[in-house]
């Protein structure tokens, strides 16, 4: 990632904080958390060519071969961090659009192409008496892992452990072009900064509108959510101002589902009798 700083500068946005790159590391997010605890400034970035202990949501592993993008960026938001995962999704989607890829967002924070996963986001935070101290936003994009397996959330055990997935897709496959992870990183960072400043300037509604517009077209459809080991069914009607998924359940109430506990969201199988 030696070229990342230069790419950011060439794009007119000199980066305001240190960028640390590793050829190989356990997890860029774990490293950035250490830096955050030691007082690193907002916008500090850690990237790695490969991760040996990459983490996805819900404690799953994230397969992280060289050629993919593994990036974590430190934020110190003055207000509620609840929208940051959605904001990051919008930013990654916009970044990919600049390479000609029209990804779709799947709540809470997957970027899909068709039904296959192109990128994943993991927001982790720490708060103290004054509120949120830091948020580490971890972003993994399947760019061009060459002969290696594409990155995605892999099962921890069982016959599929460490393998991947049909359900992953890479930018290489999607565009037919060889892209450098640093080119994608520069665009992702630019877009995260742009949307973050927009939200901080009182335009959080723009984030929600952009997210809603780029979402998989599931609005009005019956979905099934696995949350905290419990299956919930309802019709997806939208997202609220805090980024929760709104479900219309059987008795007509609309209930918010918060992302933290959710391990699966999918369209519900529907039966029709005619
Ligand atoms: C998911 O879809 O479950 C989230 C995947 C997040 C992966 C990224 S790669 C960079 C950062 N470091 C990690 O260990 N995880 C995130």
From atom 10 of ligand 1, which residue's Cα is the shortest distance away?
70
pLDDT score recorded for residue 136: 98
Ligand 1 in contact with 33 (CB < 6 A)? Answer: no
Q: How far is the CA of 60 from the centre of ligand 1 (A)?
A: 9
Rounded to a whole number of angstroms, the CA Rg of the chain reads 18
Q: In this structure, what token pair is assigned to residue 253?
A: 């109430």
Ligand 1 in contact with 51 (CB < 6 A)? Answer: yes
Between residues 156 and 207, the one the model is more confident about: 207
Q: Indicate whether 156 pLDDT > 70.
A: no
d(CA 251, CA 273) in angstroms, rounded, equals 22
Q: How far is the CA of 61 from the centre of ligand 1 (A)?
A: 8
Burial label for 246, CB within 10 Å (0-12, 13-18, 19+), is middle
Mean pLDDT of the chain: 89
Ligand 1 in contact with 117 (CB < 6 A)? Answer: no
pLDDT per residue as tens digits for the range 180-223: 999 999 999 999 999 999 999 999 999 999 999 999 988 999 99
Instruction: Give the list of residues 6+ apart from residue 151 with CB closer than 8 angstroms, or none.
Output: 54, 62, 63, 64, 65, 68, 140, 142, 145, 164, 168
Q: How large is the angle between the packed helices 84-97 and 204-214, nearest 10 degrees?
A: 60
pLDDT per residue as tens digits for the range 211-260: 999 999 889 999 999 888 889 999 999 999 999 999 999 999 999 998 87
Position in ligand 1 atom list of the atom nearest CA 57: 3
Between residues 21 and 271, the one the model is more confident about: 21
pLDDT score recorded for residue 167: 82
Q: Which pairs count as long-range contacts for 37-40, CB under 8 Å and 24+ apart, including other chains?
A: 37/126, 40/74
Ligand 1 in contact with 72 (CB < 6 A)? Answer: yes
pLDDT score recorded for residue 147: 62
pLDDT score recorded for residue 64: 93
Percent of all residues in the chain with a pLDDT value above 70, rounded to a whole number: 90
Beta strands at 19-25 and 45-51: parallel, antiparallel or unpaired: parallel
* Interval 17-22 mean pLDDT: 97
Q: Number of C-alpha atoms within 13 angstroms, CB side, residue 68?
A: 30
Give the pLDDT band of residue 274 (cuts 50, 70, 90): very low
Percent of all residues in the chain with a pLDDT value above 90, rounded to a whole number: 72
d(CA 180, CA 69) in angstroms, rounded, equals 9
């Amino acid at each position: 990632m030696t070229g990342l700083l230069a790419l950011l500068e060439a794009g007119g946005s000199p980066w305001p904080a240190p960028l640390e790159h590793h050829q190989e590391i356990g997890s860029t997010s774990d490293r950035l958390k250490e830096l955050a605890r030691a007082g690193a400034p907002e916008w500090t970035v850690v990237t790695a060519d490969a991760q040996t202990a990459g983490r996805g949501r819900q404690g799953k592993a994230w397969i992280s071969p060289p050629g993919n993008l593994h990036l974590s960026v430190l934020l110190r938001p003055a207000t509620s961090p609840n929208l940051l995962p959605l904001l990051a999704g919008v930013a990654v989607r916009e970044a990919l659009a600049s390479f000609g890829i029209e990804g779709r967002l799947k709540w809470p924070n997957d970027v899909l192409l068709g039904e296959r996963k192109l990128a994943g986001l993991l927001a982790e935070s720490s708060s103290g008496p004054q509120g949120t101290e830091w948020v580490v936003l971890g972003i993994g994009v399947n760019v061009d892992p060459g002969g290696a397996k594409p990155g995605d959330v892999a099962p921890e055990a069982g016959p599929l452990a460490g393998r991947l997935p049909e359900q992953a897709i890479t930018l290489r496959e999607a565009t037919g072009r060889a892209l450098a992870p640093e080119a994608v990183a520069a665009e992702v960072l630019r877009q995260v900064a742009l949307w973050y400043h927009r939200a901080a300037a009182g335009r959080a509604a723009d984030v929600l509108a952009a997210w809603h517009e780029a979402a998989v077209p599931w609005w009005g459809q019956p979905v099934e959510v696995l949350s905290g080991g419990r299956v919930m069914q309802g019709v997806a009607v939208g997202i609220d101002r805090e980024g929760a998924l709104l479900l219309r359940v059987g008795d007509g109430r609309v209930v918010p589902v918060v992302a933290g506990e959710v391990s699966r969201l999918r369209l519900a199988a529907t039966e029709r009798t005619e």
